[in-house]
Amino acid sequence: MKDYEMETVPAKLTKRIVNEMEELIKQGWYANKSELIRNAIRELIKKQKVIQLESAIKEDIQWGLYGS
């Protein structure tokens, strides 16, 4: 599958989350729920990659300082 091809991923969300999403859409932050969800997932993945990189760096520093 190429990066630009879309795949549908079913998900159940609480009514509270859906209401908050609809409010952001109403305010004009996003065009629709799909755009909001795609953006949220992209941001989550970016943050997770940073966390993993920071963890690896800390492990390398720990190993360099103490040998284990």
Which pLDDT belongs to residue 27? 99
Q: Provide mean pLDDT across the span 31-38.
A: 98
**Which pLDDT tens digit goes with each residue over 10-31?**
999 999 999 999 999 999 999 9
pLDDT at residue number 68? 62
Which distant-in-sequence residues (6+ apart) come within 8 Å of 39 by Cβ?
30
Helix (H) or strand (E) holding 64: helix 33-66
Please give the Cα distance from 6 to 42 (Å, whole number): 14
